[in-house]
Chains A and B, each alone.
Chain A
Amino acid sequence: MTNDFSRREFIKAIGASAAAAGTPGILSGCATEPATPPKPIGRVIVIGGGYGGATCAKYVRMWSARRIEVFLIEQNSQFVSCPLSNLVLGGSRRIEDLTLGYEKLREYGVQVIRDEATEILVERKRVRLKRIEDLPYDRLVVSPGIDFMYDQIPGLNNAEAQKLVLHAWKAGPETVALRKQLEAMPDGGIYILSIPKQPFRCPPGPYERVCQVAHYVKQAKPRSKVILLDANEDIVSKKGLFTAAWNDLYKGIIEYRPNQEAKDVDVKAMTVKTEFDSFKGDVLNVVPPHRAGLIAQQAKLVTANNRWCGVNWQTAESVAVPGVHVLGDSTLSASAMPKSASMANNHAKIAASAIVAIMTGQPVNPAPTINNTCYSYVSDREAMHVDSVHRWMPEKKALEPVPGSGGLSSQRSETEKQYADAWARNIWADTLS
């Protein structure tokens, strides 16, 4: 650590706020901004302000009673939620509804820096940045999300092609641009979504997306077709629930084609080529295979298949680089763990708890337990969920689903649509405010 941490100092600081609690008169003013800010016991830098990074920044501040300095490095000025972004394609939400600021994190004392981390100097425990001088840390959190492996789809491996054929698998400008392409598509047009083999971000996402696009064309251009080219041999999430929705709501619109991995795209001919077939569409939406974000690759945090970062799931600390925690979609998922916003937010809490414990000389949680909850909207009215509970099993040294727990909706419903909306409000508030 750069700052000499004294355990006694920490106890003193905590004791001071505890004493304040017994004095109602000073409670409100004191808790928000202590009159004399305690000396920091160290610094955490968080790279990436998505569901993982933003949550971790907040919880390290909260759980250290503001004794640990936190810098959050994020390139974008605002947070745009991937969950619910398929509803922008369907037309029941606007991108503005899913766009949130970072300003409330500042109320926790998180120092939000709009910049890009270009290099991690692990030996010197410093992060090099594009705009400002490099910053030292005591512990580092890397939560960069995914990068796309465009080299796997040669026809898309250039910037021009990527402007015509979108992924919209990171919410933001691409989401809006894809919606515009759908609006410009003629009635009777063909929309093609191509998705890679597992693991990919948001397992139910592709199946929800075709529901949302079908929901839009059913009203606006009902002679159109929605084709899902799935590189996997079958629907990978909520199969029964999605199949029922496609049959009940979008019969004759959605066509599902398993075992169709995109090998190439011809942007002039507007075709997606698979091993034996070629599919021509009016709007092509191709999601390439993913890997851990660039900065994780650069810092040698990638340990699995040249794609994912292995971590110890008790602490979310990298198995390759001590003192560095990796969160979210960049990680090599634990058993039955999806790459989801719920999981990234929960990884953040595993990391925050461990970081605060380690930096204050406390024991770490011997059995972290987290849950995953993912809702999918099949229209503007109905949704359904999948959930699971994962516990660190000390004897196996692995984070595993708890036997007997978790499950799926019995059926899609309007009630679950209300819960899905509430999930969004709460995870957004938990991550950013």
Chain B
Amino acid sequence: MGAKLLAAALVAATPVGAAAQTPYANAGRDLAASCAICHGTSGVNAGGMPNLAGQPKDYLVLQLRDFRDGKRPATIMHQIAKGLTEEQIDAVAAFYAAQKTR
């Protein structure tokens, strides 16, 4: 849990330095929080689902695009990925890539 909290603190720290020009710096963090109901807090899985924390960003972007475009078969992720914009896919993938597995 320690690493996870620290990671959250680091992410939370980003917007302070980035100041007001950047639109919203926690988009990836907030979106990933929604995915946590199946994939675990900060992508650290509690059992039975793929672990997303620490996966390479490019890999995650590709998977989400493939789900969205119907290239990767799924029971549910193709339906959820269709709800994300390109910017959101990029932000959530970057967030997960920066997380530590427990």
Contact = CB atoms under 8 A, between A and B. Distances in A.
Interface of A: 10-11, 14-15, 17-18, 20-21, 27-32, 59, 62-66, 107-108, 342, 345-346, 349, 353, 356-357, 362-363, 365-371, 373, 385, 387-389, 391, 402, 404-407, 409-410, 413, 415-416, 418-419, 421-423, 425-430
B31 A419 contact: no
Contact of A353 (B16, B30, B83): B30
B26 A353 contact: yes
Contacts of A353: 26, 30, 33
B33 A349 contact: yes
Q: How would you classify the secondary structure of chain B's contact residues: helix, strand, loop or mixed?
A: helix
B24 to A, nearest CB: 5
B75 A415 contact: yes
A31 B79 contact: no
A160 B20 CA distance: 60
A389 B26 CA distance: 19
Nearest to A408: B79
A15 B23 CA distance: 21
Contacts of B3: 27-28, 31
Contacts of A29: 2
Contacts of A416: 75
Nearest to B15: A362
B1 to A, nearest CB: 6
A400 to B, nearest CB: 11
Given A14-B9, A18-B13, A346-B34, A369 B75 contact: no
B7 to A, nearest CB: 8
A345 B48 contact: no
Interface residues on B, range: 35 or more
A15 to B, nearest CB: 7
A410 B46 CA distance: 26
Contacts of A365: 24, 26-27, 30
A387 B36 contact: no
Interface in B10-59: 10, 12-13, 15-16, 20, 23-24, 26-27, 29-31, 33-41, 45-49
B20 to A, nearest CB: 7
A89 to B, nearest CB: 23
A66 B5 CA distance: 9
B82 A389 contact: yes
B6 interface: yes
B82 A17 contact: no
A431 to B, nearest CB: 9
B83 A422 contact: no
B69 to A, nearest CB: 12
12 contacts: A10-B16, A14-B9, A14-B12, A17-B13, A18-B9, A31-B9, A107-B1, A366-B24, A368-B30, A373-B76, A418-B48, A426-B45
A428 to B, nearest CB: 7
Contacts of B62: none
A17 B13 CA distance: 9
A14 B20 contact: no
Contact of B82 (A20, A402, A419): A402
Contacts of A419: 38, 48-49, 75-76
Given A422-B38, A427-B37, A11 B16 contact: yes
Interface in B46-102: 46-49, 75-76, 79-80, 82-84, 88
Contacts of B45: 426
A366 B40 CA distance: 24
B46 A429 contact: yes
A426 B47 contact: yes
Contacts of A10: 16
A62 B30 CA distance: 12
Contacts of A423: 37-38, 49
B62 to A, nearest CB: 19
Given A18-B10, A419-B48, 8 more contacts: A18-B9, A28-B2, A369-B83, A369-B88, A389-B83, A405-B83, A406-B79, A409-B75
B16 A370 contact: no
Contacts of A388: 83
A242 to B, nearest CB: 17
A17 B9 CA distance: 7
A387 B80 contact: yes
Nearest to A390: B83
A21 to B, nearest CB: 6
Contacts of B34: 346, 349, 369-371
Given A17-B10, A423-B38, A426-B45, A363 B16 contact: no
B37 A32 contact: no
B31 to A, nearest CB: 6
Nearest to B39: A426
B9 A406 contact: no
